[in-house]
Amino acid sequence: MTDPGTRVAPYGPAALRRAAPALLGYAAVRALGLLVLAGWSGARDKSAYTLLTARWDALWYTRVAELGYGYEVRLPNGDVHSNLAFFPLLPWLERLLHALTPLSYGAAGLAVSLCASLAAAWGIFAVADHLYGRRVGVWAVLVWAVLPVGIVQSMAYSESLFTALAAWSLYAVLTGRWVTAGLLASLAGLTRPVGLAVVAAVWAAGVVSFVRERGAARAAGAPPDDSAPRPPSPPARPREEARGGASRVARAAGLLLAPIGAAGYVLWVGHRTGKGPLGYLDVQAGWRNGFDGGLAFARFVGAKFTPGPSGPALPSVLAGVALTAGVAALIWLYAVCVRSRQPLPLLVYTGVVLTLALCASSYFGSKPRLLMPAFPLLFPPAQALAALAARRPVRAAVIVGGVAVASAVYGAWWLNGSGPP
């Protein structure tokens, strides 16, 4: 793991002032997306509010919040769609906000998502600022905001909540706040199945830290060579020993806390279904979700190039080319992150998110939003934009502004059409 440096932004008003340009830019991009969605939906006699709060997964979350677990739909082909597939933190927050305010469950879910999206933007800024400085932090947030599927950040979905918990957990790891990192990783594990990525990042950083600490201790205790006697070591100061012991205890506590959320829910589902520790996998199988190493996705992409009676249709071929280019771009960006020596927890987290998204046999239309939490992939483009802005600020602003408009239009078209399942 590379040394992340000593740039530790404080919590509180000073941190908020430092992040203000990123948060204001993020809010502006998301407001643009919502305005375009409202106009597009109104022209089609649809409700933008309904699209944001009461379709697809949002309905499942609100049903869990209102009625609890136990609801399922049996399809004619034998598949069973159970709401046990949806992790509980977002429904818990929806239920809490509904109990404390006049908001409906759907409106509560939207409010949670909007607040969580700002928290996620702040967390992304904090990580990038810590590693590369304030300018890159601002551009990283803007790039995350203008993703083609950025509209999902403003829906009553769990992606924004998960990204917020993941980003702040990773920031806590980078700054040595192990208990905070473990608590946030545990909450991320209660939000989505990909919470495993946050747990893996915390554990990887913690194990490497323990190993390095032991290696340093052994090196300090070894004699200079085989012939010369070792000089006596100076006695350790009690305060330093206490600080080191407290740090090790905090690190161990963080590692123990990290998997509790995900493991607790998975085990509870296994107990409820009566199928043991692997019961959650059976629930996911009912949704045709599984992990096949990417074979199903590869067949899906390959089918775009398969000739029909009169050859493959041009739109299908173009879609196949776009999918192939997208996957290649993701792999290339991850390779850039590795070459640029991003800290180990970020590489582990991003690698697990990519693997679970690309190698799962779930509905392929959902993969873009499943990849949205992989925000460390955006740091290389953010660095490039920051460098461009230092030389030609107008050009950088025009690029991001143009992409923001395109993202808003695409999000409105997408949500009024097939949308994010």
What tens digit of pLDDT does each residue of 31-79 get? 999 999 999 999 999 999 999 998 889 999 999 999 999 898 888 887 8
Per the CB < 8 A criterion, the answer to whether 37 and 151 are in contact is yes
Only one residue has tokens 């998110």, namely 353
Only one residue has tokens 């695409």, namely 410
Res 20 pLDDT > 90 = yes
- How many CB atoms are closer than 10 A to CB 233? 8
What pLDDT is attached to residue 222?
57
Full-model pTM: 0.89
Per DSSP, the chain holds a count of helices (H) and strands (E) of 18, 2
Start-to-end CA span in the chain (Å) = 37
Instruction: Copy the structure tokens of residue 223.
Output: 């004699």
Q: Kindly report which listed range (74-78, 312-316, 355-359, 412-416) carries the lowest average pLDDT score.
A: 312-316
* 74 DSSP β-pair partners: 80
CA-to-CA distance for 322 and 364, rounded, in angstroms? 14
CA-to-CA distance for 144 and 374, rounded, in angstroms? 10
Residues 264-307 have pLDDT tens digits of 999 999 999 988 888 898 898 888 887 777 787 778 777 777 76
Residues 120-169 have pLDDT tens digits of 999 999 999 999 999 999 999 999 999 999 999 999 999 999 999 999 99
H helical segments located in 101-222: 105-132, 134-145, 159-174, 178-189, 195-221
Per the CB < 8 A criterion, the answer to whether 134 and 395 are in contact is no
Distances in Å between the Cα of 332 and the Cα atoms of 325, 329, 336, 366 are 10, 5, 6, 21
